Structure 1
Amino acid sequence: MSTQVEPDVRRVETAPQPMLAGEKSPAEMFLVKLFAVIPALALAAAVPLAWGWGLGWVDIGLAVFFYTLTCLGVTAGFHRYFTHGAFKANRALRIALAVTGSMAMQGPIIGWVADHRRHHAYADREGDPHSPWIFGTSAGALAKGFWHAHMGWMFQREQTNAARFAPDLLADADIQRVNRWFPALTAVTLLAPALIGGLATWSWWGALTAFFWAGLVRVAVLHHVTWSVNSICHMVGDRPFEARDKSANFWPLAILSMGESWHNSHHADPTCARHGVGRGQIDVSARLIWVFEKLGWATRVRWPKPERLARNRKTTSSS
Structure 2
Amino acid sequence: MTTAPAIDQPGASAGGRAELDPEPTSTTEKVLVAVFTGVPLLALFAAIPMAWGSLVGWVDVALLVVFYTVSAAGITVGFHRHFTHGSFKANRPLHIALAVAGTLAIQGPVITWVADHRRHHKYSDKEQDPHSPWRFGTDWKALTKGMLWAHYGWFFDGSSTSKEKFAPDLLADKDVARVDRWFPGLVAVSFLLPALLGGLLTMSWQGALTALFWAGFVRITLVHHVTWSINSICHTFGKEHFDVRDKSRNVWWLAIPSLGESWHNLHHSDPTCARHGVLKGQIDISARMIWAFEKLGWAHGVRWPNEERLAAKRVR
TM-score by length of 2: 0.95
Q: Distance in 1 between matches of 2:142 and 2:65?
A: 36
Deviation of 1:157 (Å): 1.7
**AA paired with 1:184?**
G
Q: More strand by proportion, 1 or 2?
A: 1
Residue 10 of structure 1 and its aligned partner are, at CA, apart by 4.5
Aligned to 2:34: 33
For 1:29 and 1:285, how far apart are their aligned partners in 2? 31
Structure 1 stretches of at least 4 aligned residues deviating more than 4 Å after TM superposition: 10-14
Q: Which residue of 2 aligns with 1:116?
A: 117
Seen in structure 2, the aligned counterparts of structure 1 residues 10 and 126 have a Cα distance that, compared at 3 Å, is closer
SS at match of 1:43: helix
Q: Is the 8 A contact 2:63 2:211 kept in 1?
A: yes
Residue matched to 1:8: 5
Distance between the aligned counterparts of 2:47 and 2:148, measured in 1? 22
1-structure distance, mates of 2:9, 2:20: 13
Counterpart of 1:19 in structure 2 is 19
Deviation per residue, 1:237-262 (Å, 9 max, x gap):
00010001000000000000000000
Deviation at 1:34, TM superposition (A): 1.0
Aligned length: 311
1:192 is matched with: 193
Per the alignment, residue 266 of structure 2 pairs with 265
Q: CA–CA distance in 1 between the matches of 2:175 and 2:64?
A: 28
Amino acid in the other structure paired with 1:71 = A
Q: Which residue of 1 aligns with 2:154?
A: 153
- Give the partner amino acid of 2:5: D
Please show how residues 48-197 of structure 1 align to structure 2 within 5 Å.
Answer: 48-197=49-198
What is the CA RMSD across the aligned residues, in angstroms?
1.6
| Post-superposition CA distance 1:162-211 (Å, at most 9, x none) | 11110100111111100000111111111111001011111111100000
Where does the alignment leave 5 or more consecutive residues of structure 1 unmatched?
none
SS at match of 2:315: strand
CA distance in structure 1 between the partners assigned to 2:9 and 2:146 by the alignment: 26
CA change 1:195–1:48 in 2 (3 A) is same
1:9–1:85 Cα contact (<8 Å) kept:
no
Which residues of structure 2 form unaligned runs of 5+? none
Asked if structure 1 preserves the Cα contact closer than 8 Å seen for 2:242 and 2:315, the reply is yes
Secondary structure of the corresponding residue to residue 131 of structure 1: coil
Aligned partner letter, 1:80: R
Give the distance between the partners of 1:307 and 1:248, measured in 2 at CA: 21
Residue-by-residue CA offset, 1:55-104 (whole Å, 9 max, x unaligned): 11110000000000110010000000000000111111100000000000
SS of 2:21 mapped into structure 1: strand
AA aligned opposite 2:305: P
C-alpha distance in 2, partners of 1:241/1:131?
19
Q: C-alpha displacement at 1:9, in angstroms?
A: 3.2
Q: Following the alignment from structure 1 to structure 2, what is the Cα–Cα distance between the partners of residues 258 and 70? A: 11
Contact persistence 1:12–1:166 (CA under 8 A): no
Deviation at 1:7, TM superposition (A): 2.3
Distance of 1:215 and 1:9 partners within structure 2 = 36
TM-score (norm 1): 0.95
Aligned-partner Cα distance in 2 for 1:105–1:159: 17
Q: Specify the alignment match of 1:210 in structure 2.
A: 211
Q: How far off its partner does 1:278 sit?
A: 0.4
Opposite residue 101 of structure 1, the aligned amino acid is G
Q: 1:187 to 1:91 in 2, by over 3 A?
A: same
Q: SS in structure 2 opposite 1:107?
A: coil
Report if aligned partners of 1:236, 1:248 keep a CA contact under 8 Å in 2.
Answer: yes
Q: Tell me how far 1:264 sits from its aligned partner.
A: 0.2
16-25 vs 229-238, greater mean Cα deviation: 16-25
* Equivalent position of 2:302 in the other structure: 301
The answer as to whether partners of 1:110 and 1:166 remain within 8 angstroms in 2 is yes
Change (3 A) 1:200 1:180: same
Question: What does 1:272-311 correspond to in 2, within 5 Å?
Answer: 272-311=273-312
Write the letter of the residue equivalent to 1:283. D
Secondary structure, in 3 states, of the residue corresponding to 2:241?
strand
- Contact 1:114/1:165 (8 A) holds in 2: yes
Q: Within 2, Cα distance between the matches of 1:273 and 1:200?
A: 37
Q: Deviations over 1:17-75 (max 9, x none)?
A: 91101311222222111111011111222122221241111100000000001100100
Counterpart of 1:223 in structure 2 is 224
